[in-house]
Each structure stands twice: as C-alpha cells, then as structure tokens.
Structure 1
Amino acid sequence: MLNKIIYRYLGVAVIALSFSACTLPALIDKSVNTTVPVSYNNHSQDTTNTAKVKWQDYFTDSNLTALIDVALNNNQELNITMQEIEIARNEVQARKGEYLPFVGIGGGAAVDKVGRYTRNGALEANNEIKPGKEFPEPFTDLMIGAYATWEVDIWHKLRNAKKGAYNRYLSSVDGKNFLVTNLIAEIANSYYELLALDNQLAIVKQNIEIQTNALNIVKLQKQSARVTELAVRRFEAQVLDTRSLQYGIQQQIIETENKINFLVGRYPQPIARNSNSFGELANDTIQAGIPSQLLQNRPDIRQAELELAAARLDIKVAKARFYPSLGISAGLGFQAFNPAYLVNTPESLLYSLAGDITAPLINRNAIKATYVNANAKQIQAIYNYERTILNAYIEVANQLSNISNLKSSYDLKARQVKALTESIDISNNLFRSARADYMEVLLTQRDALETRFELIETKMKQMNARVNIYRALGGGWN
C-alpha cells in the first residue's frame, strides 16, 4: 500500500516536471550572413596577401621597429588586456570545476546541555551507555569526516557554460591581437607624422633664410629709392610670419614625440629617427588578396565570431534551467560524544547518501527573462559580427582607393613644387632688374612654401595609407 502511494506521487512529480520543461518561451530566429564580394572594387582576385607579412619585415626603418618592440612589452593598455586574458582563462577553470564533484573535509565539536525536566532530558536520564553509567551531561558531540556534492550535468548546462567561457577566453586573445595591430599602426603613423614635421621645419628654416636675404635686398633698394618703405614692411612681415610658423611646428614635434613615448610606455624623451630620406620613402605594391581572407586575418572579425559562438551556448545554458536538475550528496566520517570512542568502528562510523531532483514549476519569470535575454544577446552578436565584416571590407576598399589617388596627387604636387621653386629665382631676378613688382616676389615665395608643405603632407598621407591598409587587411598581430 505504501509503495503504491509513493509511486503515485513520483508519477505526479515526473508529469509536473515534464510539463514545466515543455512550455518554453518562443524565440526570434536569425541566421548569420557572412557573404562578402569576390574582390575589392574589381581588383585582382590573387590570394597573395600583404597581411601575412610580419611587421618586422613590413616596416624596414630600424628606429620604428625598435619603438614597436618596446611598446609590445611596455604599453599599459596592452598589459591591461593581458590581465583580462588571464581573467578569462581562470573563468574557464572555474566553469570546468562546476560540473565535477565537490569534495571537502571537515570536523566539528559541540556541547549540549538540556533541561532534566524536558522530554530529551528525561530520556537521557533513563538511558545508559554502559551498566551503572548515565548518559553524559553535558553532552559533547565530536565529528570528523569527508563530504561530497555533485550536480549531475544531464542537460549539459554546466558543460555548455564552460564552453562559452572558453570561447570568450579565445575572444579575449583575439581582442589582444586586434589591439596589437592598432598599436603598431598608431606608432607607425605617429612616427611618419614626426618625420613629416621635421621636414616641414627644415623647409620653414630654409624659407626664413631666403626671405631674410630678400628683406636685405629690399632694404638696399629702398636706400637707392627704388622701392618704398611699404615694400620693406611687407617683406619684414613675411619673415616674422614664417618665424612664428616655426615655433608652432616645434610644438607639434614635441607633442608627437610625447604621444609616441606614451604608446611606448615611457616618460618623455627624444625619439631617435632619420628624417632626411622621408621624401624618398618607397610605397611598395600592396597585395590585398581576396575579401574572404578577412574572416581569418582580421582579429576583430574572429573575436566577433567567438562572441557569437559564446552567445549561442548561453542560450543552451538558459534553456537547461527549465529542465529538472539532479543533485547527489554523500558523507563519510566518525562521530562520538567522547574522543576515546571516535575511532571505535563500526559504532562511531557515519555515512550518508542522498539524491534530489528539482525543476521550476510556478513563477519562472526570472529564468524566462534570462532565456529571452540570452537570445537577444545572440541576435546582438550576429549584428555585431556582420557589422565587423562589413566595416573590414570598407576599410580595405577605402585604403586601396586612397593609395591610388595619393600616388597621382603626389606626382602632380612634386611637379608643382619644382615649378614654384624655379619661379622663386626667376621672380627675384626680375625684381632686381625692376621688371617685377615686389608683391609678385612675396606671392611666389608664399605659394612655394605652401606647396612644399602640401607635398610633405601628401607624402605623410601616403605612408599612413600604407600603414592603414596593413592594419585593415589584418596584418601586424601574427
């Protein structure tokens, strides 16, 4: 009769648990679109890819590579990211430990004195452990033993949580790689900016010398009444303007040096460099490969992919919370009221073994919300993954176009500089022979200065484009 009652209640419990697991909230389903064009704006479909070149071989300036080497060891942001990787690795270990049995050891001691005129007191008074010896008073309780608890991972809830943590660990590694790529690119861009500023400063100093010589000539011509005081003042104002420009560039040089020092992780100090050959720096041919290679070469794309994989596992973990969970607990040890009896077996031996199965039945709002949120986060991860792929493709396409246009611009600007540099000598000669107005000399000098500045800036943009295409293709981290 008793067995029938037990089986009846167990049957009801199983039905209730099954019902609770079957009524899951409906989720929005979204597939991932990872298709990319077969080429970059009708470029070649050759699979040779500059991203495979190591940064030590891509950047040939020994001063620049030395800065990058130091930055990869000292940069604070990179070192912070390394600790985040360590945290993610430890999280994997923590998740792994959750689906293994927990085993511990413990002991305890207690003293208990009950009133004699109580039920327990009366029972103890009439109970004798040995003939002629009463139940001890006060009663001491000593225990030592081992215990174990284990949640049986029937639905792989704990294993999926561990896999999700592992994917996030791998994602943090790719996040570090993406940071390395950006760090190398930022140092290289700042270094080329510094070289450009050095060359602009040299041009300004040359122009100050040219303009000062022209001012001296105008002063002599004023003495011979060939020009007026107005011409002298205009030439003098131009010299002062160019000198003020010199100090602005010097300040930019200091700030750019300190930016590099910050990225390298050290206090301000001069940056070793050779600026003389800046105008002759070569722009090697870039091999962009094919767009599908971005999925493997770009660390940020791989990071987004791993985050998506982790988000999918989070849904499985959240779903498993609707199902029954099985727990097992056990204990083994010794217990006695007297230390002398503690190891007297089997009388002092204690052991226990228990199992329980539970499942949510009423008021499951919290786990429903967790389940739906996990799906929403997965959809977010899908959009982020697709956006990262799209952004990578556009970055490469922009830089390929930029490299081509800057090459044409630089060639034309170089011809313009040559023409204006020659026009300075021509205008000075014409001015000496009174065949040109002093304003023509001033305008020619100003135009020549501005154009030489623009030529240096175009060269800097060319070098930056070379750095940026390397970063956009996913180079620098390997």
Structure 2
Amino acid sequence: MNKLKTISISSISATTLTLLLLNSCAPQSNYKAVEFEIPTSYRFQTEASLQDSVGISDISWKAFFSDEGLTALIQKGLDHNFDMQNAIKNIEIANQKLKQAKVAWLPSISLDAANVAYQWRSDNYYGTPSSNYYKDKGSDAPSSMYVNSAQYISGLDLSWEVDIWGKIKSQSAQTLAIYLQTHEAKKAIQTELIAKIAEGYYNLLLLDAQMEVARTNYELTENTLKIVQLQRDAGQITSLAIQQTRSQMLVAKALIPSLKQQIAVQENALSLLTGQLPTQIERDTKLADVKYEESLSTGVPLYMVGSRPDVREAELELKIKNANVGVTQVSRYPSLTIDLSGGVNSMLSGNWFSIPGSLFGSLVGGLTQPIFKNRKLKTAYEIAKLERTQAEIDFQKTVYTAINDVTDALIVLESLNEQLDIAEEQVSTSRLGIKQSNLLFNSGYATYLEIINTQRVALESELNLNKLKQNKLLARIKLYKSLGGGWQ
C-alpha cells in the first residue's frame, strides 16, 4: 500500500463528502437467489403422501415418536450429547463475532494512560544531550549514557476507516451468515442425533424380539428332541434322528448368547449418544406394539428445500462466498482513514499535566490506493468469484441430494409394505405348519425330518418378519430426517 497524500484539516470535510457520495456508485455484492429446476413432486410419491404442501417435517419429534421410553431417551441425548454441546458453544462463539461485526464501522479509540519513554546515548552518538533536561535538573550533561530524550505522554488516539465502498458491510454480511450457519449446523446435528437414537432404540426392540423368537424356538426343538429320544428308545427311529434334531435345537440356542452380546453393545452405543457412561437402556415396549401413523405426508420439494438444515446451511455458505467477493473487490479501491489524537506531553515529569503548556493534538486524513501488490489483490478477487461459483454448484448438489433422499425413502417404504404383507403370510403359514406337523408326528404320520424342517422355516420366517418391521420403522425415520424434520 502506497500512501498518496496527507489531507490537510481544512480539506478533510470536502474530501470525505466527495468519497461518501461515491458510495452510491460503489460496487456491491448483493446476494441473489440461485435459480435451478426443482420438481413439483417427488418420484414415486403417492396421493396419500401428498396430503398438503408442508408434510411431516413440521411435526415435532415428540409428536412423531409416541413411545415414552424413546422420547425420554432422545431428550436425554439433546441435553447431554457431546456434539450438541459443542454445537451450542459454536453458536456462542459466532454470536460474539457477530457482536463485534455490528460495531466494525465505528472508529477505534485507545487510551495512552501513562507512557514514559527515555532514550540514552553515549559519546559516539551524533547528537548532543538535551540541554533543557539537564538545565532544569540543575546538573551538567554527562559525556556517556546521557539522557538524549525524555517524554511523558497521556492522551487519546482515534482511528477511523470510512466504509466508502461497503467493505465493512460485506464483512458484516459474512459474519451474519456464519452465525446463522452455526444455528443450521446445530439443527442438522439434532436431526442426525434424534435419528441415531431412534434407530438404536428400534434396534434394541428388534434384538429383544429376536431373543424371544430364539428362546421360543429353542424350547420347541428341545421338546421335539425329548419325543425323538423316546422314539429311538422304542426302536422306531435311529440315533441319526437325535443328532439332526439336536443340531436344529443348537441353531436356536446359539442365537441367544449372540443376541445378548448385540444388545449390550447397542445399549453402550445409545449411552454414548446420550452423553452417559455404559448402562442398561430401559424399554417397556415390544417391537410388535410400536404404534405409528401409516400415512405420511411428504409435502412438496420446494418446502423441503427451505426446511432441511443442510440445504439452508449450503445456501448460507453461498452467501458467505458472495460477500467475500465484495470484500476482495473493494480491497483494490482507495481507502480513507482519519486519525485523531490529543492529550498532554512533557519532557519533564513535573510539567506532565501542566495545562495548557503540555497540551498537544493532531488530525490526519489519509487516502491510500494500492498500486502494485504482485497481483495478490486481483488473484484474491478472481479466486473469490470462482469459490462463489463452487458454492452455487454445492448448493444445487445439496438440494438435489435432499430430493434424492426423500425419493429413496419413499421407494423403500413402498417396497417394505409389500414385503411385510408377504412375511406376515409366511409366518402365519409356518405357525400353522408347526401345529399340523406336531399332530401328524404324534400320530405317526410325519417324520422327524418334517418336524425339523417346519421348525427351521418357522424360525427363519419369524426372524425375517421382525427384521422387516424394524426396517419399516427405520425407513420412517429416514423419511422424517430427509424431509428436514426433527429439529423443531
């Protein structure tokens, strides 16, 4: 930066007025909303899911999840989760920076309360001792290490950069967007946290249901084994029947310790999500008893774009990059600074506050124009424009990803409804098969192999049905999350 001139006091008002008038034609970087294609509805969206334009994203998580145990667990997570606590601190940090940005246009004022400065010199120094200093002290100046200069200063300094091109305005817009970003980041973390807790809770319910199926099947095959042993003792069948029946019994029995392990690991994961040490997770609900609304309103994509935290965060990032274009652009233009200082200054401490003899004051206006900075300023401006374009691309990608997420969730839900109907029919058929095969086996019209096969099919179909029930609950969570719900 090369200072071109120093403006005299008499010309400051006229120069300032002239430059302030130039503000009307100053370059601006006002944000303009990006325009790109957004569909009016989602692919595979049904009439039932398009009940209104808003959708389930406006439903509070407390209303979306009806299980009291789950809602209590979510609330604990919101209160104690470590990522949530950090997100709140990030908001507080950004708030402090925003407060600073709001007063950035004001001049900076510093107080020099008591500045005492001495300079000592020796024989070979080109100057001479200060005669007044030693005269007032009543002593002769020494030949070496004499006091060459002494100053006692107290005063106020004011420095003000006039925002003639809107640089400070653009910086304030940046800071505001960053502050709002922290709020959207917190919402995104909350949505993700609620989804993870709900998924973990429903996984526990699935493991509980699988444990119940495994134990029931184990008891069933154990009873079958006793009957087979009696038949072997009566000479009706061979020992091979006992081995095969016992193998089927051990398949169900082996599931029990494996499920116990998975339950404990899942409980630990939920404890960490809620900011707690590993502990047991209370739950009174069974997977089959979880209640929910079958019909889900997804609304329209345009509304979802305005409610998803990550989409709003991406748009705020675009606003930050846009404001940076303005900052880098005006950095290439002249800057006007006004410096004002005043106070008391004396060579001797005894005259420090002698008024008016020790008073001093100065007023300087400086107009500075960058001329050659090794292309740094132009490079920064060109990069800022390219980064703004990148932010536009990222914003559009985020919007399209969000629409894709909703579409995927709708497809999964539709498919799961069909799979559940088939799985429930399979379970009904396998349960009926067990009853009939037991009757036939006891009457001597069915072999032990038919019994074993029927029990195996029943075990697999029960486990599969429970898994599909959990998958539907998880798909509902994914749809709720993808629509931007969960942070209300």
TM over 0.5: yes
Task: Tell me the equivalent position of 1:47.
Answer: 53
Alignment counterpart, residue 58 of structure 1, candidates 64, 67, 71: 64
Mark the CA change 1:175 to 1:280 in structure 2 (over 3 Å): closer, same or farther. Answer: closer
Letter in 2 for 1:94: Q
Task: Tell me the equivalent position of 1:16.
Answer: none
Report if aligned partners of 2:177, 2:320 keep a CA contact under 8 Å in 1: yes
Letter in 2 for 1:179: I
Q: How many Å separate the matches in 1 of 2:123 and 2:291?
A: 101
Matching of residue 329 in structure 1 with residue 339 in structure 2:
yes
Q: How many Å separate the matches in 1 of 2:330 and 2:86?
A: 35
Q: How many Å separate the matches in 2 of 1:222 and 1:180?
A: 62
Letter in 2 for 1:87: I
Mark the CA change 1:337 to 1:58 in structure 2 (over 3 Å): closer, same or farther. Answer: same
Matching of residue 152 in structure 1 with residue 162 in structure 2:
yes
Q: How many Å separate the matches in 2 of 1:316 and 1:210?
A: 75
Matching of residue 38 in structure 1 with residue 19 in structure 2:
no
How far the C-alpha of 1:324 sits from its partner, in A, is 1.0
Summarize deviations over 1:282-305 as a string: whole Å, max 9, x none: 443101111110122111111111
Task: Tell me the equivalent position of 1:302.
Answer: 312
Q: How many Å separate the matches in 2 of 1:127 and 1:80?
A: 60
Report if aligned partners of 2:54, 2:303 keep a CA contact under 8 Å in 1: no
- Aligned positions of 1:432-447 closer than 5 A: 432-447=442-457
Alignment counterpart, residue 478 of structure 2, candidates 444, 468, 473: 468
Q: How many Å separate the matches in 2 of 1:48 and 1:125?
A: 86
Task: Tell me the equivalent position of 1:243.
Answer: 253
Q: How many Å separate the matches in 1 of 2:353 and 2:385?
A: 56
How far the C-alpha of 1:135 sits from its partner, in A, is 9.3
Q: Secondary structure at the match of 2:128?
A: helix
Task: Tell me the equivalent position of 1:111.
Answer: 118
Report if aligned partners of 1:67, 1:264 keep a CA contact under 8 Å in 2: yes
Q: How many Å separate the matches in 2 of 1:252 and 1:127?
A: 87
How far the C-alpha of 1:110 sits from its partner, in A, is 2.5
Q: What RMSD in Å do the two structures reach over aligned CA positions? A: 2.6
How far the C-alpha of 1:377 sits from its partner, in A, is 1.7
Report if aligned partners of 2:159, 2:337 keep a CA contact under 8 Å in 1: yes
Letter in 1 for 2:59: V
Summarize deviations over 1:340-396 as a string: whole Å, max 9, x none: 322222221111111222222123422222212212221221111111111111111
Report if aligned partners of 2:67, 2:290 keep a CA contact under 8 Å in 1: no
How far the C-alpha of 1:326 sits from its partner, in A, is 1.4
Task: Tell me the equivalent position of 1:212.
Answer: 222
Letter in 2 for 1:366: K
Task: Tell me the equivalent position of 1:70.
Answer: 76
Q: How many Å separate the matches in 2 of 1:236 and 1:119?
A: 109
Summarize deviations over 1:276-329 as a string: whole Å, max 9, x none: 363553443101111110122111111111111111000100111111111221
- Aligned positions of 1:132-143 closer than 5 A: 138=147, 140-143=150-153
Q: How many Å separate the matches in 1 of 2:180 and 2:117?
A: 50
Percent identity of the aligned residues? 31
Summarize deviations over 1:105-134 as a string: whole Å, max 9, x none: 113112345568977427x5499989x999
Task: Tell me the equivalent position of 2:288.
Answer: 278
Q: How many Å separate the matches in 1 of 2:155 and 2:361?
A: 9
Task: Tell me the equivalent position of 2:85.
Answer: 79
Task: Tell me the equivalent position of 1:197.
Answer: 207
Letter in 1 for 2:169: R
Count of residues in Structure 1 that have an aligned counterpart in Structure 2:
451
Q: Gaps spanning 5+ residues in structure 1: where?
A: 8-29
Q: How many Å separate the matches in 1 of 2:75 and 2:124?
A: 83
Summarize deviations over 1:381-433 as a string: whole Å, max 9, x none: 11111111111111111212222221221122111101111101212222233
Q: Gaps spanning 5+ residues in structure 2: where?
A: 8-31
Mark the CA change 1:475 to 1:280 in structure 2 (over 3 Å): closer, same or farther. Answer: closer
How far the C-alpha of 1:272 sits from its partner, in A, is 1.1
Summarize deviations over 1:242-262 as a string: whole Å, max 9, x none: 111111111111111111111
Q: How many Å separate the matches in 2 of 1:456 and 1:393?
A: 29
Give the TM-score, by structure 2 length: 0.86
